[in-house]
C-alpha cells in the first residue's frame, strides 16, 4: 500500500518523505539509480521441491527418481538467470553476496571443526585401531588427491584472473582443468573407499565411522563444487561473465578454495600424523 502512495506522491507529506529517503540514500554514498530486477521465475520453487524430495529420498529411495531430475531441471533453469548487482546500505563498501559467502564458509568451519574434532577424539580413545588402519591407508593415493586439489585451486585463481582481463580462452582452459581435476579427486576417493572396504574397514568400525563420515562429507562438498562449476561454465558459455561481471566466478572460487583448505587439514590429520 505504501509503495502505491510513494509512487504517486500527492500530498506534501509524501513528497517530504521521498526527499528524506533520497537524502538517506545519498548519505550512504549511493546515487538514486535504476534497479534491474530479473523477471519472476518458478525455477527456485522447482529446486526447492526437488531438493526436499531428494533429501527424503535418502530414506525412501523411490522418491529419488522424481527428486533428482527435478532438482537438476530446476538448477539448469536457474543457470539462465542474469546476474544482478546488489547494493547493501549497511557497510556499503562490502558486497552482500560475498559477505554471505564468507558467513556460509564460517558455518562450514564449525561443521568441519566438529567432524575433525570427533576424528581426533576417536583417535585418542582408540590408538591401536587407528594405528592398524593407518598401515592400510594408501599415502601415495592421498598425495595424488592432495596434489590434484591444489592444482585445481591454482587453476581457479588463474581462471578468475583470465576472466577479469576478458581472456575467455584462457578462462575456459583453466576452468576445464578444474572440472577435470575435481572429478579426478572424486575418482581417487571412490577407488580408495573401494579398496578400504575390501581391507575390512567398514562404516561399523571405530576407524571406519570417523574416516567415512569425515572424508565423505568432504567428498560431497567436492561433488557439489563440480556440479556448481558445470553450471558456471554453462553460464560462461552463454557469455554471462566478463571483466565487469565476474563475482559469480569469485564466489565459486571462495567455496572451492575452502574445500581445498579442509582437505589440507584432513590430509594432515588422517594420513600424515600416525
Which residues contact another protein (rule: CB under 8 A)?
Answer: 91, 93-94, 98-99, 102-103, 105-107, 109-110, 112-114, 116-118, 120-121, 124, 139, 143, 146-147, 150-151, 153-154, 156-158, 161-162, 164-167, 169-171, 173-174, 243, 250, 253-254, 257-258, 260-261, 264-265, 267-268, 271-274
Is residue 151 exposed (0-12), middle (13-18) or buried (19+ Cβ within 10 Å)?
Answer: middle
Cell triple for 84? 544482478
The least CB distance from residue 89 to another protein, in Å, is 15
For residues 38 and 82, the answer to whether their CB atoms sit within 8 Å is yes
CA angle 45, 236, 84 (to 5 degrees): 55
Nearer to another protein, 126 or 257 (CB): 257
CB of 223 to another protein, least distance (A): 20
CB 124 → another protein: shortest distance, Å? 6
- Closer CB to another protein, 94 or 220, in the complex: 94
Query: Exposure string (b/e) for 179-203, b if CB count within 10 Å is 16 or more?
Result: bebbebbbebbeebbeebeeeebee
Which one, 70 or 260, has the nearer CB to another protein?
260
CA distance 171 to 166: 8
- Do 68 and 78 contact (CB within 8 A), yes or no? no
For the chain, the first-to-last Cα distance in angstroms comes to: 66
Q: What is the smallest separation between the CB atom of 127 and another protein, expressed in angstroms?
A: 13
- Minimum distance of another protein from residue 242's CB (angstroms): 11
Residue 54 or 246: which CB sits closer to another protein? 246
Q: How far is the CB of 193 from another protein (least distance, A)?
A: 21
Alpha helices, DSSP H, located in the chain? 2-7, 12-27, 43-57, 62-78, 96-125, 127-136, 139-164, 168-198, 206-237, 247-266
- Between residues 151 and 183, which has the closer beta carbon with respect to another protein? 151
Amino acid at each position: 500500500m505504501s509503495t502505491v502512495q510513494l509512487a504517486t506522491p500527492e500530498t506534501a507529506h509524501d513528497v517530504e518523505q521521498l526527499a528524506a529517503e533520497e537524502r538517506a540514500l545519498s548519505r550512504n554514498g549511493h546515487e538514486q539509480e535504476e534497479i534491474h530486477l530479473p523477471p519472476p521465475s518458478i525455477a527456485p520453487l522447482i529446486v526447492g521441491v526437488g531438493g526436499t524430495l531428494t533429501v527424503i529420498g535418502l530414506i525412501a529411495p523411490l522418491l529419488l527418481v522424481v527428486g533428482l531430475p527435478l532438482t537438476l531441471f530446476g538448477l539448469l533453469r536457474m543457470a539462465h538467470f542474469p546476474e544482478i548487482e546488489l547494493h547493501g546500505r549497511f557497510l556499503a563498501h562490502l558486497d552482500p553476496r560475498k559477505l554471505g559467502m564468507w558467513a556460509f564458509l564460517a558455518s562450514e568451519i564449525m561443521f568441519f571443526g566438529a567432524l575433525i574434532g570427533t576424528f581426533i577424539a576417536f583417535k585418542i580413545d582408540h590408538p591401536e585401531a587407528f594405528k592398524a588402519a593407518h598401515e592400510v591407508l594408501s599415502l601415495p593415493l592421498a598425495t595424488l588427491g592432495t596434489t590434484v586439489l591444489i592444482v585445481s585451486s591454482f587453476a581457479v585463481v588463474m581462471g578468475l584472473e583470465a576472466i577479469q582481463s576478458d581472456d575467455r580462452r584462457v578462462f575456459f582452459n583453466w576452468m576445464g582443468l578444474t572440472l577435470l581435476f575435481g572429478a579426478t579427486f572424486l575418482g581417487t576417493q571412490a577407488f580408495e573407499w573401494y579398496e578400504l572396504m575390501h581391507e575390512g574397514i567398514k562404516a561399523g568400525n571405530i576407524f571406519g565411522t570417523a574416516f567415512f563420515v569425515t572424508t565423505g562429507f568432504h567428498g560431497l562438498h567436492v561433488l557439489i563444487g563440480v556440479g556448481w562449476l558445470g553450471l558456471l561454465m554453462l553460464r560462461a558459455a552463454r557469455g554471462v561473465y566478463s571483466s565487469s561481471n565476474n563475482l559469480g566466478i569469485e564466489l565459486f572460487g571462495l567455496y572451492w578454495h575452502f574445500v581445498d583448505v579442509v582437505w589440507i587439514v584432513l590430509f594432515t590429520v588422517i594420513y600424515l600424523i600416525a
